[in-house]
A and B are shown apart, each in its own frame.
Chain A
């Protein structure tokens, strides 16, 4: 671009009349936003607008539940009784009286560890297989039908088979998590890889990127939004599957805790455990979503 030459004449003329140059400097007031108090009010309004609706809805739901379950002959306890019954569990999550008589923290942490192992395995194997299926037409034609059939098998249906194979509850539970979480990871990764624009492949070809460079510099960043969609679905499914699996395999874990509470007719404990399961599932989902946001920043914007 030919930038127009800056006109120099006025600048050259300036020293001839220095008197004209002595302009008074007007002090500019520093830029002022609204005062702090007003901004605080704005923020608190914003926060209130977000917090009030869920609080109101939850309060109403609890009220209805309380009213419905308070009547004589109700099969489920009202919220007030749930809190009363489980107060010890809520306030002492870390107690450990040996065996299976542990606080909720230990049950949840055992479940989370199983999910962590199975899910980590599923992520690695899933991304690898997804890349293979996405990149190679031959692999896709060979593997895709198998994947499509196997992914519809319900998680728990794998449990007897894995118990037979591993002859132990712990690896079986991890395997069930693995097999549950892997399908969305494979399928989404494969779609992401297949959707890498031809333009990026052309760029890589002109630059003569080798396979490893292509994988790290083009494939992973380009497919990252898809991969993370798969990972996010996967974490949700893992958490769904672990509770069911643990009910069957026993041992320490939130699933077993629920089943044990049912066997001892501690309905309030079941309700408390469900609240914990829900909250943790939500948090897990948010963690993966936040991770996706960090990793794929810039990728989605185009």
Chain B
């Protein structure tokens, strides 16, 4: 069977004048439909670059990205991104931010009434319908991230790309949002590729964890299956042996074998 999303021998390097920096080296990864995959690694290892390549926001230097056997080389709503810093348009209300995406993606396919209903449905999904008329400046960071998630979900993407979506949030809000993402993934069975630097988050949410080595020329160091049954409950997992073992594996990888070198 052909994989749903295939990242095939991707290299990425940046050139400035005569100096060429290799950021990613020979990244190969396949993701099945409905799978939740996390990419974890120290900051600066090129995780976000990899996500941007899948999103089409950055180009590959070599190799290719295939989604349903079609090459990806420009951004599009079939690979919706939830950005780290929410990236909501501050002059639009919560509703209008999501509606902009809905209008653009379903402008031809759905009637005005259907688009309105679809916008509200997605706001409902992230429990933000109550703030539909607020502007991003008037809601909290966690709420903004929820709206960003609603905007991405509303595009009905083939792959949902999450770029450290909860990195800027406090621990409690982050836990709430992780639960939301799990519930939504359970319900809609989206294919998700998430960038994170939080070990617990990776183990809790993912089916597989892709661990990246430190840059420059970062590559995939190890891929860990997380054989935990879904739905997963945060509290029950805290004492689960499998959970702890997975967590241990990731921690070992990150802090022993590929320790972050500050000077690099």
Chain A contact residues, CB within 8 Å of chain B: 1-2, 197, 199-200, 202-203, 205-209, 213, 217-218, 221-222, 224, 296, 298-299, 301-302
Complex: chain A residue closest to B146, CB-CB: A1
Sorting the interface of chain B by its residue count into under 10, 10 to 19, 20 to 34 or 35 or more gives: 20 to 34
The verdict on B87 contacting chain A, using a C-beta distance below 8 Å, is: yes
Judged by a CB distance under 8 angstroms, whether B153 is at the interface is no
Asked, given contacts A207-B105, A209-B104, whether A299 binds B91 with beta carbons under 8 Å apart, the answer is yes
B87 / chain A contacts, CB cutoff of 8 Å: 197, 199-200, 202-203
**Docked CA distance A213–B103 (Å):** 12
Contact A221 B89 (CB under 8 A): yes
Can you list 26 pairs linking A and B with CB atoms under 8 Å apart? Answer: A1-B177, A1-B180, A2-B183, A197-B87, A199-B85, A199-B87, A200-B87, A202-B81, A203-B83, A205-B56, A205-B74, A207-B100, A207-B104, A208-B76, A208-B104, A217-B100, A221-B89, A298-B92, A299-B90, A299-B91, A301-B135, A301-B137, A301-B138, A302-B90, A302-B136, A302-B137
Asked if B80 is at the interface (CB within 8 A of a chain A CB), the reply is yes
> Whole-angstrom distance between the alpha carbons of A7 and B180 in the complex?
21
User: Is B190 at the interface (CB under 8 A from chain A)?
Assistant: no
Q: Is B57 an interface position by the 8 A CB rule?
A: yes
Write the chain B residue with the least CB distance to A201.
B57
Q: Which residues of B contact A301 (CB under 8 A)?
A: 90, 135, 137-138
A171 to B74, CA, bound (A): 49
* Chain B interface residues toward A at CB < 8 A: 55-57, 74-77, 79-81, 83, 85, 87, 89-92, 100-101, 104-105, 127, 135-138, 155, 176-177, 179-180, 183
Residues of A within 8 A of B76 (CB): 206, 208
Whole-angstrom distance from the CB of A205 to the nearest CB of chain B? 4
Nearest chain B CB to A299 CB, angstrom units: 5
Nearest-neighbour CB distance to chain A for B150, whole angstroms, equals: 13
Once bound together, how far apart are the Cα atoms of A222 and B136, in whole Å? 14
Q: Given A2-B183, A301-B135, are A205 and B75 also a contact pair (CB < 8 Å)? A: yes
Chain A residues near B57 (CB-CB < 8 A): 202, 205-206
Residue in contact with B83 in the complex, picked from A199, A209, A298, CB distance below 8 Å: A199
* Set of chain A residues within 8 Å of B56, measured between Cβ atoms: 205
Q: B90 contacts A1, CB within 8 Å?
A: no
CB B231 to nearest CB in A, in angstroms, measures: 10
Q: For the complex, what is the distance from the CA of A207 to the CA of B101, rounded to whole Å? A: 6
Contacts of B55 in A (CB 8 A): 206
CA distance A65 to B172 in the complex (A): 67
B residues in contact with A222, CB < 8 Å: 89, 91
Given known A-B contacts A202-B81, A202-B83, A217-B100, A1 and B136 have beta carbons under 8 A apart: no
Which residues on B sit within 8 Å (CB–CB) of A197?
Answer: 87
